[in-house]
Amino acid sequence: MLNNSGLLPSTSASFTLVVGYTAVEAVMPADSKRVRGPEESQSPLLFMPSTAQKAAGPEESRGDGRQRDQVDVRPVFARCGLVSQAKGSAYVEAGNTKLLCAVYGPREAERKDDTDMKAGRLVCDFRFAPFSCPKRGGWIQGSEERDAAQALQEALRPGLCLHRYPRSQIEVNVLVLEHDGSVLAHAVTCASMALADAGVEMYDVVLGCALRQDGESYLLDPTLAEESGGGGGGENRGSVTVALLPSLAQVSALQADGELREDSVNAAVRACMEGCHRLYPVVRRALVNAVRKRAAPPGDAHS
């Protein structure tokens, strides 16, 4: 700003700039930690031409080479034991969606009046990193994060043997590093891997899978563009997220949004269950590798 004053034709313009700056400083208590934009700024995304109309028609294939109407999940990279301070942790990457989960516990419950004598409590926290979504999010927990935390808790509870941890609480913290679609589904998978890595007793891992219904065809494990594209008009448009305990064939979470016909919902749930079964071997292998790495004696270089 001060450099530009030399280039400005009239000094009065630069003078107003300086006045404006000091006025703002006088009004706000000196908040030197955050650089906030001016009050009236808007995101540039509002002015970008909408790419929704260019969303794939029914015959076109998806952007990354996967097929419509097929149980085609993105290849998943899963690794346990990344956060050294946590009891258990897991990192999952599916396409561009990156999530990190850390589990602490079983610990003594914070709020003594909520202590349950017979079973433990599961506390979930879900955060989007501010740089994870196309539009910058704030650090204060928004309603979407609270809903996701609630959904995560409901999805994980049936899989855990909480009656083995009376009067304790287990904390699960999920951080989304990059949001490229089906975040809740992958968060469920990541969280249950972290719980298994932490040694919490479970009936089965809980795996999640999401689906986007687009008219007559469905897209399994949608990316962010596929999730938000094709909005507005059209019959039978919506998204479905399912969390499954594979070896018990029990559904622990189901969320369906958007106007969907009943047969589409049934087909979607079945497709998501199939998608979860596809993820199962990857998750099992990652957990086995983590256990082997932990159990390997110090002198042994091979895990």
Partner 1 sequence: MAAVQICEAEKVYIMHGVRDDLRVDGRGCEDYRHMEIETDVVSNTDGSARVKMGYTDILVGIKAEIGKPRPMVPDEGYLEFFVDCSANATPEFEGRGGEELGSEISSTLYKVFSNRNSLDMKALCIAPGEHCWVLYVDVLLLQCDGNLLDATSVAIKAALFSTRIPKVHISEDEEGTKELELSDDPYDCMRLEVEDVPCIVTLCKIGHRHVVDATLQEKACSMASLLISVTRKGTVTCIRKVGGGSLDPESIFEMTETGKRVGKALHAPLMKLLQEEEMLGKKKQKVGFLG
Residue ranges in contact with partner 1 by CB under 8 A: 42-43, 46, 143, 146-147, 150, 154, 157-159, 232, 245, 248-262, 265-266, 269-270, 273
Cβ distance to partner 1 smaller for residue 71 or 100: 71
Nearer to partner 1, 86 or 185 (CB): 185
Structure tokens at 27: 């009004």
| Residue 176 token pair | 């989304």
Q: What is the DSSP letter of 95?
A: T
Distance of closest approach, residue 124 Cβ to partner 1, in angstroms: 13
- Residue 216 CA to residue 69 CA, distance in Å, equals 9
Q: How far is the CB of 144 from partner 1 (least distance, A)?
A: 9
Q: Least distance to partner 1 from the beta carbon of 206, Å?
A: 9
Q: Which run of H or E residues covers position 178?
A: strand 168-178
CB of 205 to partner 1, least distance (A): 13
Q: Hey, is 114 helix, strand or coil?
A: helix
Least distance between partner 1 and beta carbon 259 (Å) = 5
- Residue 130, both tokens: 């501010």
Residue 135 to residue 215: CA distance in whole angstroms: 28
Residue 142 structure tokens: 């928004």
Which CB, 56 or 273, lies closer to partner 1?
Answer: 273
CB atoms within 10 A of CB 119: 15
Which residue, 145 or 178, is less far from partner 1 as judged by CB?
A: 145
Between 193 and 276, CB nearer to partner 1: 276
By C-beta, is 190 or 276 nearer to partner 1?
276
Both tokens of 240, joined, read: 């479905």
Rounded least distance, CB 8 to partner 1, Å: 30
In the complex with partner 1, which residue's Cβ is closer, 100 or 210?
A: 210
Closest CA to 105 of 90, 124, 127: 124
Q: Which residues contact 217 (CB under 8 A, 6 or more apart)?
A: 58, 68, 69
Strand order in the sheet with 237-245: 217-220, 207-214, 237-245
Query: ∠ at Cα 107 (102, 108), nearest 5°?
Result: 145
Of the candidates 235, 236, 6, 196, the one whose C-alpha atom is nearest the C-alpha of residue 88 is 196
**Least distance in Å: CB of 265 to partner 1?**
6
